[in-house]
Chains A and B, each alone.
Chain A
Amino acid sequence: MNAFWIILTGSLVATCCSLLGCYLILRRMAMIGDAISHAVLPGIVIAFLLTGSRDSVPMIIGAGLLGVLTTFLIEFFHKYARVQSDAAIGVTFTWLFAIGIILISVFAGQVDLDQDCVLYGEIAYVPLDLWITEGGLSLGPRTVWTIGFVTILIIAFILFGYKELFLTAFDSGYAAAIGVSTSLWYYLLMTAVSLTTVASFESVGAILVVALLVAPPATAYLLTDNFKTMLVLSVALGIIASFAGYYLAVWMDGSIAGAIATITGVEFLLAFLFSPSRGILINRKLVQPVQH
């Protein structure tokens, strides 16, 4: 049963991350996703200190807001202080992440988070924290409910905003011309990324969220040219990685989240080498120049 809950959690995290990741990599914002995933840490710690629990809604919202603040801060450094854009990202997220770690060290007694958990989560402990109703009925692990709720939110967001998200990612000029607010959808997307990061944080940690945000979509991107196929494919790849990662981790007696990230890397490597349309080891018929 434990394996089931862990793999379910992994798959739910992978679903949210892969879906949003597709938009991030097409917008060339993979590193912004990376930045957000680091920068929500102080938000999580502060919310934790204030509310005293991990799974409360205010905590997710508070920390999610910090993710959006990060994008504002990066934009501010870039636009107003004219810091080169990659440096703006680098400075912002390392700084916020450092504050988060310091807060954890200072309030070590009061915060049930440690530095390692921040890095690679504690997905193995997911089945231990059960949600038990007052009547004594066990409803399964608390984390599954939280991340499940976020997954439904993200899927709903993509279903309802499909057209707008698609247009703003592929042709923002056209989107603006037909009256779709590009900045509104940009910030909505960033909010969704922050929410997902916060909800996934305790199960897979800050850096491995990035693996699930970037690797499955990048793999799918090598396999298809159709965007809808890419969304579905990357979710499938994410779920496969959760399954395979769990068993790899059991076999090696190591971190499950680390193993999931390793598998997403293996998937990418396979697609990179053997993708039917773009694999570098697959012979493609090249168009020969016409001889005269």
Chain B
Amino acid sequence: MKEFFEFFSFADANVRFVTLGSVLLAGSSAVVGCFTLLRKRALVGDAVAHAVLPGVCLAFILSGTKNPLILLIGAFITGWLSLIIIDFITAKSRIKEDTAIGLVLSVFFGIGILLLTSIQHSGNAAQSGLDKFLFGNAASLVGEDLIIFSIVAVLLLTATVVFYKELKLLCFDEVYAKTIGFPVRGLELLLTTLTVLAVVVGIQAVGVVLMAAMLITPAAAARFWTDKLGVMLVLAAVIGAISGVSGAFVSYTAPAMPTGPWIVLIVSLIATFSFAFAPNKGWIARIVRQRLNKKRILEENLLKLLYQLSENKQDFHTPRPMHELLDKRSFPVKEAASGLAKLKSQGYLEKIKDGWVLTAEGITRGRRVVRLHRLWELYLTQYLHLASDHVHEDAETIEHIITPELEKRLLVELNFPILDPHSSKIP
């Protein structure tokens, strides 16, 4: 606990730097990740992340120093190359994209491991610390390194803000972007470059192996809370930043721990929470919605049945007992009973002795469902030329969905009909 307060009071300058760095790194990769996610190329980031390793090693072998700028350039070159190769293999051979990604990812990583182990065995004292690139260590973000990576992160964020409109169009409607004269090819290149840069700076915090999570997971989580790209970007950045801070905290309290896995664990927990509980899009919200819809459909079917029973003789005041309803149409008994009770409390039904009677509102609502059902049957026979005995099932579903506006258009389209295909009157 003491460490917790020590860390979050930010009294220590070192803590301030590390926190700031982690937030920038994690935040900027999350923002770029949103675009790759929306372009359905999330796993490409994984390939780039792994492909960065041989670049780092080569840069070290060639320069002999661990100057972050030089390593960064090496990483950038191989990362970029991996993306070009994936596209080239997919375009020029019958290898599919997923195979190309898996291939490039593992082969580049293999080369990287071969070089890294070779450097380690060479006994060069300067090499120690290169393996930090594997799992990341936010605590090592100090001094010059921090300044360079923070500058890159800020550049990344600026680029996304400047090209926001263009990138948005590229993600959502590439063809349209092309027709109105956007340089789509150039924008793709820009996004590629941004992705590679995001990976190159992000691996400082989480390492090459788990970098994919920093691109994919915050974006996937943010996607569940909103449909607006701008909001999604901010949310993803915040989620990334929160996990970045917690990673910095872990490496502050337990310097031997690799930070990457902790950052990923925290961001994944946030994502899983979002998948399950986000309003509207979340799993729970959808289950609730499905239940409610099912109930509503059952209730509408009950109203419809009651209306149909009385429709011919217009005897809407005759009470209909439960078993009469169940004879006509098989409802699950328990649900039907609770549906009837609910309709009563809503004022659509009244209970008289053992039977049920529609109220005025009930008649109106029941009539509407019947009308929609018959209108739709007529529409299907007239416009799709379906046989009249094939249209019932379809109408049975759509009658609960048609909005008043659609209803009006159907009426106009069908020229205010009187009879449905089965020669029943359309009420």
Mark A residues whose CB is within 8 Å of B: 25, 28-31, 33-34, 77, 80-84, 86-87, 89-91, 94-95, 97-99, 101-102, 105, 115-116, 119-120, 207-208, 210-211, 213-215, 218, 221-222, 248-249, 252-255, 257-262, 264-265, 268, 272, 278, 280
- In the complex, which residue of chain B has the Cβ closest to the Cβ of A106? B257
Of the residues B107, B220, B261, contact of A83 by C-beta under 8 Å: B220
Stretch at the interface among B159-167, B182-190, B275-283, B306-314: B275-283
Which residues on the A side are within 8 Å of B46 (C-beta)? 34, 90
- In the complex, which residue of chain A has the Cβ closest to the Cβ of B110? A261
Which residues on the B side are within 8 Å of A86 (C-beta)? 40-43, 216
Determine if A261 and B109 form an interchain contact, defined as CB atoms under 8 angstroms apart.
yes
Which residues on the B side are within 8 Å of A94 (C-beta)? 210, 212-213, 216-217, 264, 268
User: Which of A83, A116, A264 has most chain B Cβ within 10 Å?
Assistant: A83
Given A207-B209, A214-B103, A257-B110 in contact, is the A87-B268 Cβ separation under 8 Å?
Answer: no
Stretch at the interface among B7-15, B71-79, B90-98, B339-347: B90-98
Determine if B264 and A95 form an interchain contact, defined as CB atoms under 8 angstroms apart.
yes
Which residues on the B side are within 8 Å of A31 (C-beta)? 43, 98, 101-102
Determine if A115 and B134 form an interchain contact, defined as CB atoms under 8 angstroms apart.
yes
- In the complex, which residue of chain A has the Cβ closest to the Cβ of B108? A265
Stretch at the interface among B114-122, B149-157, B403-411: B114-122
The answer for the CA separation of A278 and B271 in the assembled complex, in Å, is: 43
Mark B residues whose CB is within 8 Å of A: 37, 40-43, 45-46, 50, 89, 92-96, 98-103, 105-118, 121-122, 131, 134-135, 209-210, 212-213, 215-217, 219-220, 223, 256-258, 260-262, 264-265, 268, 271-272, 275-276, 281-283, 286
Which residues on the A side are within 8 Å of B131 (C-beta)? 116
Determine if B220 and A84 form an interchain contact, defined as CB atoms under 8 angstroms apart.
yes
Of the residues B105, B108, B265, B276, contact of A98 by C-beta under 8 Å: B265
The answer for the CA separation of A25 and B45 in the assembled complex, in Å, is: 20
Of the residues B41, B113, B135, contact of A261 by C-beta under 8 Å: B113
The answer for the CA separation of A255 and B134 in the assembled complex, in Å, is: 15
The answer for the CA separation of A255 and B120 in the assembled complex, in Å, is: 10
- In the complex, which residue of chain A has the Cβ closest to the Cβ of B221? A91
- Within the complex, the shortest CB–CB distance from A132 to chain B, in Å, comes to 30
New A-B pairs, 11, CB < 8 Å, besides A95-B268, A218-B100, A221-B94: A87-B216, A94-B217, A95-B272, A102-B257, A105-B261, A120-B113, A218-B95, A218-B99, A255-B118, A258-B117, A268-B103
